[in-house]
Amino acid sequence: MNRVVITGIGAVTPLALTAEETWARLVRGESGVAEITHFDASDFDTRIAAQVPSFDPANYMDRKEARRMDRFCQLAMAAAIQAVEDAVLQPEKRDKDRVGVVVSSGIGGMLTYENEVRKLIEKGPRRVSPFFIPMMISDIAAGQISMRFGFRGPNYATTSACASSANALVDALRLIQHGEADVIIAGGAEAAVTPLGIAGFNAMKALSTRNDEPEKASRPFDAGRDGFVMGEGAGVLVLESLDHAQKRGAKIYGEFAGAGMSADAYHLTAPAPEGAGAQVAMRHALRDAGFSPADVDHINAHGTSTPANDKNESLAIAAVFGDAADAIHINSTKSMIGHLLGASGAVEAIAVLQAIVSGTIHPTINQEQPDPDCPLNYTANSAVERQVDAALSNSFGFGGHNVSLAFRRFA
């Protein structure tokens, strides 16, 4: 099978409008959580979120195009353009039949859905936009990106809730490994900081209500955690076969060494006890990558800041890695950018690759009260300088979808 490497990254996050600046702020331990400004949240139990600041789609497309895209799709396009430029891919020089796009969303066009339902109720069916369906559907970001660049290879989205973009990366890995494509643009986007999105997660009691201290609300693995913080954003990566990347002289962030997937088969939203499904995914990822537990230096955890997830993920890591677990630097990107739902896996994979390249592991912030149920090394509050040769990134989704991605330093 073909070896697969990462040659380009792009991100639009609550911390910054580029992957580079996002990484700089992650290393500094800065929070992107603040009061909700997208709508009036004064009547909601949760009035905070991690929103993308000052995003202007006109920097990436004309106004007409922007009006025909939901916000999640605009964010995906921005991240994809960044990634293609970062990879110096030069689309006009590629065999476009051999370049695909797998860019996902867990929810899709939530804002568009809400706006058009309001029109239907208030003004009648004839006022619903003809662009409603193509703006709302989760696969449209992949379609729009392929049209932007003319890429005619495999083109679709995976939808597995908060594991969606991690699943997109797995599919991209397999497509290149098996020779279906030379290059895949892969990742995910989400923009569900909307009235219905916040109200829905509030109804589930899933969100933090630490409204008076937004920057401290997302606190994975801390004893005071009370729920996750909704985030929005996009992460896109350029995956290539090693042969294709080397022939064109591309820079390489790291090698995508393997992946593991599993199902909890347990509950709609709660993780399986002791992270049983997460254990299976991580064991599969280790085996697929050819890693032993002692090889792994770093794990970017799913780390949502919910009581059940953080406890069970900790138990799963301890079970899989045994005596080697204490030597692993674990962190949660969500402590600073909130939970980007279907985009989180891709953004967190980018963070892992930047850790590999820089030799720096960003902190998990808001670690103030140790939780005896979470006894591992979560890289509390300050970044750590450490060579990262092998790493995992975990993503778990409602419905019991588990994905673990394995990366290694390229040499």
> Following DSSP, what letter does each residue of 290-340 receive, concatenated?
T--GGG--EEE----S-HHHHHHHHHHHHHHHGGGGGGSEEE-THHHH-B-
Residue pLDDT tens, the chain, 411 long: 999 999 999 999 999 999 999 999 999 999 999 999 999 999 999 999 999 999 999 999 999 999 999 999 999 999 999 999 999 999 999 999 999 999 999 999 999 999 999 999 999 999 999 999 999 999 999 999 999 999 999 999 999 999 999 999 999 999 999 999 999 999 999 999 999 999 999 999 999 999 999 999 999 999 999 999 999 999 999 999 999 999 999 999 999 999 999 999 999 988 899 999 999 999 999 999 999 999 999 999 999 999 999 999 999 999 999 999 999 999 999 999 999 999 999 999 999 999 999 999 999 999 999 999 999 999 999 999 999 999 999 999 999 999 999 999 998
Active site amino acids: 162, 302, 339
Show the domains of the chain with their CATH numbers.
4-247 (3.40.47.10), 260-408 (3.40.47.10)
The DSSP output letter for 204 is: T
Amino acid at residue number 407: F
265: which residues sit within 8 A by CB, 6+ positions away?
A: 272, 277, 400
Report residue 344: phi and psi, to 5°.
-65, -40
Phi-psi region of 29 (alpha: psi -120 to 50; beta: other; left: phi over 0): left
Distance CA 318, CA 324 (A): 8
Distance CA 229, CA 150 (A): 36
Helix (H) or strand (E) holding 400: none
Report residue 37: phi and psi, to 5°.
-120, -10
Chain centre to alpha carbon of residue 25:
17
pTM above 0.85, yes or no: yes
